[in-house]
Amino acid sequence: MSGFLLLMAQAVIYFAVMTLVLRARRSIGIGVFVCALGVMHFLETYLAAVFFIELPFGLISPGSTVMFSGKLAMILLLYIIEDSETVREPIYGLLIGNALMIALVLLLRFYEPAAGLSHLGPDLVLIDHVGVLMIWGTTLLFLDSLAIILVYELLARRWRGRVFLPILVSLTLVLTLDQLAFFSGLHLVAGTPNSALFGGWIAKMGAALTFALMATAYLRWVERMPAGGEPGGTAKLLGKLTYRHRYEELLSASVTDPLTGALNRRQLDSSGPAHIAQAAAEGRTLALVLVDLDNFKQVNDGFGHQTGDAALRVTVTALRASIRPSDEIFRYGGDEFVILAHGLIPEDLPAYAERLRAAVARSGQQDPVPPLTASIGAALYPRDALHFEGLFAKADQRLYEAKAHGRDRAAATDLD
């Protein structure tokens, strides 16, 4: 069999078997596909280091040309028909599994093989070479997997409705960079001749074309790609691929109220004194406004807690629409909210508080939320207090004065 036919036969068999497993993922589970994708990584690296086919344009490694290129094509195909949260599973699984294998093999260097089995002794030089290449290849595989998805998504958005071109170009670009990077490791570790650089690149370009054609055929006639791409921009996609969005979700959950989306009391307690310090350092004022819904227990008792929850949500929405982008809103208690606003002059504070009172009154006119009113107390640093606790206490005092004067009032100064 000629070298060219060998490579083509391997590519067709590889793609056919892997897509068969991929197609059956709904019935046998995605884990089967992920395992099949991962078990060949050692063989890929081993063949890339020791097994070459000589073609007219240079030396070709089936491990690098077919198996590695095919793996990237499979990762891209999985992303296209699923999503970023699914495809990141094999990406991180391969990284962790290969790192573990390398660590376990390195530990074997601390033990001498059994003397009576010297004829079966391991080729430690080869193991060392392959181990170094495994580290380098695993790192490149991780980076290549992220890169090919990001590049494809950018191209797919530009060439909407096209399938073949985004796949081909993304495979071509990423495999070109991979060839340059992986060959540098091969040359340093195994002394691979320079003829393998150009020959390997030509072969990988052929692999990119072959796998792009087969992937396009699969998406057109076997399993159609879903309409639309990954929602959000490139930054959001990268965040999902790198689990960054999980960190952001956890961070958001730790500082926000899950019902209303306002910042929570814990965040107010921790950031309140910092706001005072910032205002003092910048020579600015800091307003603290307390908003307390009037007779809110009657809403829960008369209309039910679901309606009460809806009332809290629309209240926060109304308050947020009435404050400046730099202002912050916190849910302090069940039906109490705190707003911090930098830079208000004393003369503007009453109008600011009144605007919030009116916003709450308007929010209660939305079905199914019953009419709502709020009593408001406001205080200003440094006029009313020099410390956060004192500022809060002064706003609280004015809040109760507003309630005592009939509710549905905003008090930014002491009432008579």
What tokens appear for 137 in the block? Answer: 């290849």
**What interhelical angle do 124-158 and 84-107 show, nearest 10?**
170
- Per-residue pLDDT, 246: 54
- Per-residue pLDDT, 157: 85
Sequence-separated (6 or more) residues with CB below 8 Å from residue 176: 201, 204, 205
- Per-residue pLDDT, 114: 58
What tokens appear for 209 in the block? Answer: 């074309």
Among 144, 292, 335, 384, the one annotated catalytic: 335
Residues in the chain predicted with pLDDT less than 70, given as ranges, are 1, 111-131, 190, 226-254, 364-367, 415-416
- Cβ neighbourhood burial of 369 (10 Å; 0-12, 13-18, 19+): buried
Q: How many CB atoms lie within 10 A of CB 71?
A: 22
| Alpha-carbon distance values, 371 to 223, 311, 314, 366, 367 (Å) | 53, 9, 12, 8, 10
Long-range contacts of 106-109 (CB under 8 A, 24+ apart): 106/131
- Give the CB-side neighbour count of residue 84, counting CA atoms within 13 A: 24
> Which tens digits make up the pLDDT trace of 118-152?
555 566 666 666 667 777 888 888 889 888 988 99
User: Among 245, 282, 291, which Cα is nearest to 399's?
Assistant: 291
The continuous run of DSSP H or E covering 375 comes out as strand 374-381
Domains of the chain, earliest start first = 3-247 (no CATH), 257-411 (3.30.70.270)
| pTM greater than 0.85 | no
User: Among 102, 153, 152, which Cα is nearest to 127's?
Assistant: 102
Sequence-separated (6 or more) residues with CB below 8 Å from residue 127: 105, 108
Q: Give the Cα separation of 310 and 379 in Å (integer).
A: 29
328-331 and 336-342 strand pairing? antiparallel
> Which tens digits make up the pLDDT trace of 45-84?
777 777 778 888 777 888 888 999 999 999 999 988 887 7
Active site residue 294: no
